[in-house]
Amino acid sequence: MNKREKELKHFLDEKVLLYNSPSFIDSDPILIPHRFSKKEDQEISAFLAATIAWGQRKSIINNANKIMALMDESPYDFICNHQEKDLKRFEHFVHRTFNYADLIFFISSLKNIYLNTGGLEKAFCGDANSGFEAIQNFRTIFFDLPHEMRTEKHVSNPSKGSSSKRLNMFLRWMVRKDTAGVDLGIWNGISMSELSIPLDVHTGNVARKLGILNRKQNDRKSVEEIDASLRIFDPEDPVKYDFALFGLGVFEKY
């Protein structure tokens, strides 16, 4: 690393220490899977919370909690054992453009994944060598059942250049292990070193101000540009810097 890179790494490391702490959990959608102790409950609740993670964080958390309540606070049991009549309870659910029809398909596809393909971790990780490969693997399996085309917009498609913000965030939650206790780190099928930054408006703007992103769009190529710098700072755990970039943007209005 050159002098500038060392200075920037030091600055970002300090911000990681500040924001990668238990106090971060209460105001973030990661609060949802932290409510559970069983692996399957954690990954299902995390996946559904990440799916609706756009808009105001308070609204995201409230609506994710509604889904958990409608699943009798036992998402894995509900996914695997629900009957057709049990789905009627979701008919009034909506989060922005994610509605009843989308949620019903998600429930059906998750049931198929757990009963027939070995579960969410296998569906994502399989033979993946990167976060984007994991997302693409999952997307293929997830939409194997008949579905409305409108529902496809709720699962990122890296092959079409999507930054896959929400699913990269979900993978961070599932894969990343450290002592701070924010990310759950319950999956071993993909390496932390291969995770990608969950790129949103805040992290993109901060990355540009810091000089680690030149591209104007927030797309897959921008993620890969940021990843390249973050892997210089920490090759083993590059996405820990999500806490720094997000915290600088949201809490410090950097």
pLDDT tens for residues 44-82? Answer: 999 999 999 998 999 999 999 999 999 999 999 999 999
pLDDT at 1: 83
Total count of domains within the chain:
1
> Tens digits of per-residue pLDDT, 233-249?
999 999 999 999 999 99
Q: Up-side HSE of residue 8: CA atoms within 13 Å toward CB?
A: 19
pLDDT at 130: 93
Q: Which of 140, 132, 71, 62 is CA-nearest to residue 103?
A: 71
Residue 6: Cβ within 10 Å count = 11
DSSP letters for 13-25: HHHHHHHSSGGGG
Distance of CA 168 to the CA centre of its chain: 5
pLDDT at 126: 87
pLDDT at 79: 98
pLDDT lower than 50: segments of the chain? none
pLDDT at 69: 97
Task: State which residues form the domain around 139.
Answer: 3-250
pLDDT at 254: 85
pLDDT at 2: 87
Q: What is the model's pTM?
A: 0.96
Q: CA–CA distance from 9 to each of 35, 65, 97, 102, 250 (Å)?
A: 33, 37, 38, 41, 20
